[in-house]
Copies of this chain bind each other. A is one copy, B any other.
């Protein structure tokens, strides 16, 4: 039996992955730095060599999960030729992701210190990766529907907010809605396909 060497070798990454495992197993409330350290077979203060804070570990975990989230969204639209179908698949994937990982929503959006940066006009900060998938897929749809590009921002934020709201309401509180969610967020997609006048201020 070879016991672990004094130096772990790749503790930083192991902490991140083990921390994510812990959140999936015990939820966000069951997370603690000392549990993660113990799960890695390391003393309770070892993480402080790699993260100055518990918040910093959570932020690193958040980035890791966000990358998986982005990849999941990307995969959902890969190879979709029909723009409307792609947008629907994207919404489904968004909600399914948080349905399969109930702890991720409070974790990603309230605990991990990740900041969501949508295109802010003049400030050219890197966009929030999941939103970039929305923008790519959405703009493709809007062009195919002949919508003016000026409305892209509105439509994107509307669809994103709607999908995010569905995910939140489903994931957070034990919401019971007997209807079909898919029909719900198709409401907004149908709205884009019509030629309603937009002459209210």
Q: Which A residues fall within an 8 A CB radius of B? A: 105-106, 109-110, 114-121, 123, 153-155, 157-158, 160-166, 168-169, 172-181, 183-188, 190-194, 196, 198, 200
Contacts and interface: CB of A to CB of B under 8 A. Distances in A.
Contacts of A190: 191, 196, 198
How many copies of the chain does the oligomer comprise? 2
A161 B154 contact: no
A116 B164 contact: no
A57 to B, nearest CB: 15
A63 to B, nearest CB: 13
Main SS of the interface on chain A?
helix
A114 B186 contact: no
Nearest to A121: B178
B164 A169 contact: yes
Nearest to A118: B177
